[in-house]
Amino acid sequence: MIETSLEKIWDKYGNKYRFLILASMESRDLIESIAEGKIDVVENPYRLGLLKALRGETESGGE
């Protein structure tokens, strides 16, 4: 389970919906890559998508 404060999200992203969109897009990309056999992930792709968005590691990064 990801435990982070909303303040950390607001510091990186001024818009919570933008954060959710980026996290969702990243999770979807991970799921597609796993289904196609491009990557092998043992961790939950939704959790990874949220973490990557929080760290600014998505294609669009932070705002």
pLDDT 10s digits, 3-32: 667 777 778 888 888 888 999 999 999 999
Helices 45-55 and 16-35: angle between axes, nearest 10 degrees: 130
Residue-range definition of the domain harbouring residue 32: 19-58
Give the integer Cα–Cα distance in Å for 51 and 2: 8
In a domain, 63, yes or no: no
In a domain, 2, yes or no: no
Structural domains of the chain, count: 1
In a domain, 26, yes or no: yes
In a domain, 39, yes or no: yes
How many residues in the chain? 63
Greater model confidence, 29 or 2? 29
In a domain, 11, yes or no: no
pLDDT at res. 7: 77
Kindly report, residue by residue over 37-62, the tens digit of the pLDDT: 999 988 899 989 988 988 888 876 55
